[in-house]
């Protein structure tokens, strides 16, 4: 993991531990974090495939294990994961505390009449 990328970030949230049977369906297909939100994928047991599929980045396909540094998820970059057999993992979310809230931006506006 490139510590320069996350040096000024602070953890603010963590998922529950997921297994191959409890992983949310949304993580198995392309998804991204919000602007300003980084993720660290920590594999506790087993193996997890981590694929960066965003056209703004070079394709990346890695197998994460407990003996490795966490997988780094960049803000807004499309990615997905796939369990390889039995696995346990969680995701830790980080943000720059100097930049305030990372509240979701509305996806549409109500029309004014």
State whether the Cα torsion 16-25-89-92 is positive or negative. negative
User: Torsion angle, CA of 28/30/31/37, rounded to 10 degrees?
Assistant: 100
The one-digit pLDDT tens for each residue of the chain (113 residues) are 455 667 789 999 999 999 999 999 999 999 999 999 999 999 999 999 999 999 999 999 999 999 999 999 999 999 999 999 999 999 999 998 876 554 433 222 222 22
How many Å apart are CA 66 and CA 89, to the nearest integer? Answer: 9
Asked if residues 62 and 10 have their Cβ atoms less than 8 Å apart, the reply is no
């Amino acid at each position: 993991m490139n510590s320069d990328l996350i040096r000024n970030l602070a953890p603010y949230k963590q998922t529950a531990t997921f297994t191959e049977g409890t992983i949310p369906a949304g993580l198995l297909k392309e998804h991204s974090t919000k602007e300003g939100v980084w993720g660290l994928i920590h594999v506790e047991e087993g193996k997890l495939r981590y694929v960066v599929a965003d056209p703004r980045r070079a394709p990346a396909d890695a197998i994460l294990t407990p003996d490795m540094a966490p997988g780094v998820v960049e803000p807004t970059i499309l990615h997905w994961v796939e369990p390889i057999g039995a696995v346990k993992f969680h995701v830790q979310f980080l943000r720059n505390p100097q930049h305030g809230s990372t509240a979701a931006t509305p996806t549409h506006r109500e029309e004014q009449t």
